[in-house]
Every structure is written in structure tokens, then in C-alpha cells.
Amino acid sequence: MKKLFLLATVVVAMTFASCGNKTQPSANAEADSTEMSTDSTKVVAADIPEDVKALTSQLAEKLDANDASGIAATIEGAKAKAVEMAKNNPEKAKEYLTKLQVWLKSNAEGLKKVVANAGNSTISNALNSAVTAVSAASPDALLSGLTNAAENVKDAGEAALNNAKEGMENGAEKAEDAKEAVKSAQAKVQKNAQEKINEAKDEATKKLNDASNKAGKKANKAINDAAKEAAKGLGL
């Protein structure tokens, strides 16, 4: 009986440990899923295949995996790829968008389920917006809108660059003006200082001359007085 009791105790303990271990990975799995979803939004045109079959295959894989953010990012990347393609072949770009729209419409129900089960309002809204933006307009209108938006971004970037360049040039001009102003101020200070030195020098020379004149007069007077006394002494 004691052996049976001990065996039962061990089984219960193992059961609780097993339940605890199952609960922990669930939280980690959710965190990992969020991280993967965040990383999968980092998709640009360079990551998207130009072949539309390869594109729809990627989307199908993400749909099967319920990867809402991955689907949204791939759609955004496909839009950028279409703009890139339109530079050399607008018709091919339109065909690319047309087949993307066909795939989205064919998988509308599956996409709705992914949106509903995203578990994150930001991700579900991003996917819903991406699907709606591509599906709502004709391929011509969609491509035109995407191209215009890309041009606006490019123009805004060039304008910002030009403004920065102009600001740097203005800054250089102001720096040069400030440099000239400093030089002018230094020259003025030096001129004023030299003028003060010259004034002091002239004043000192004048005082010295005055002192010399006074001393000369005194000397002459002393000589004259001595001559007079000498003359008296001689009876002259």
C-alpha cells in the first residue's frame, strides 16, 4: 500500500509539472509570434519577386500560416514593386497588379479570417487597409495613384535636400559675413588703439617740450642774472 501511495504521489507531481511546462511555452509562443509579425513587416520592393506566380505563392504560404502582418507587408512590397516595374514596362506593372487583385478576391474569405484572428488591432487594421487599397480601384487607377504617390515622395525628398543645401549655403555666407565683421571690428579696435597711442605720444612730447622750454628760460635767466652780478662786481 505504501508503495502504491508513493507511486500515485509521483504521478500527480509529474502531472502538475507537465501542465506548468505547457503553460509557459504558450506565453513565449505568443511573444515570439508578435516578434515575427513585427519583423515580417520589414518588406521592400527588393524582397518581392517580379514573377506574379512567385508572389502569390508567398502570399498563399503566409495565408496558410495565418501571418497577418506578413501578408500586409508583402502586399505593400508588391505595390512598390509595381511602381518599380512601371518605369520600364507600365503594361507589365498593370498585369502584375491585376493578378494580385485576382488572388486577393479569390482568397477574400481566408483573408477575413486572418484579419479576425490577428489578435492585434494594429496588425489586423494594416492587413485590412492593404487589401482594401489594392482591391478597391482598377489596375490603371491603382498604378497611377501609386506612381503619383512615389513621385510626391521623391519630390518631397528632393525639396528637403535642396532646402538643406540652401540652408548650408546660407549658413556658409553668414559665417563669411561674421568673419568679415570680426575682421572689421578688430581693425577698428586696432585703429582706435593706435589713435590713443598717438594722442598719448603727442601729449607726452608736448609736455616734454613745455618742460624743456621752461627749463631753458630758467637757465637763460640764471645766466643773465649771474652775468649782471659779475658786471656789478667789476664795476661795470
pLDDT score for 4? 38
202 found inside a domain: yes
Is residue 87 located within the same domain as residue 129? yes
Q: DSSP readout, 96-162?
A: HHHHHHHHHHHTHHHHHHHHHT-S-HHHHHHHHHHHHHHHSS-HHHHHHHHHHHHHHHHHHHHHHHH
The SS3 call for residue 210 is helix
* Confidence band for 70, pLDDT divided at 50, 70 and 90: very high
Q: Is 22 a member of any domain?
A: no
What pLDDT is stored for residue 157 in this prediction? 67
Q: Are residues 53 and 141 in the same domain?
A: yes
- Return the higher-pLDDT residue of 87 and 189: 87
pLDDT of residue 218: 77
Mean pLDDT calculated for residue range 111-118: 90
Domain boundary among 92, 118, 152: 152
> Each residue of 17-69: pLDDT tens digit?
444 443 333 334 333 333 333 344 455 667 799 999 999 999 999 999 999 99
- Does residue 214 belong to any structural domain of this protein? yes
Find the domain containing 202 and state its range: 175-236
Q: Do 137 and 189 fall into the same domain?
A: no
Average pLDDT over residues 117-131: 86
Q: What is the mean pLDDT of the chain?
A: 75
The answer to the question of residue 53 being in a domain is yes
Task: Count the domains in the chain.
Answer: 2
Residue type, 218: K
Q: Is the pLDDT of residue 207 over 70?
A: yes
If asked whether residues 55 and 134 sit together in one domain, one would say yes
Q: Which residues fall within 8 angstroms of residue 85, CB to CB, at 6 or more apart?
A: 50, 92, 93, 96
Work out the angle between the directed axes of helices 68-86 and 121-135 (0-180°, nearest 10): 30
- At 156 the pLDDT is 67
**Residue-level pLDDT at 81:** 92
Among the listed ranges 194-198, 222-226, 231-235, which one has the minimum average pLDDT value? 231-235
Q: 72 lies in a domain?
A: yes
Predicted local distance difference test score (pLDDT) of residue 98? 93
Q: 232 and 140 in one domain?
A: no
In a shared domain, residues 80 and 115: yes
Residue 48: what residue type?
I
Q: Is residue 9 part of a domain?
A: no
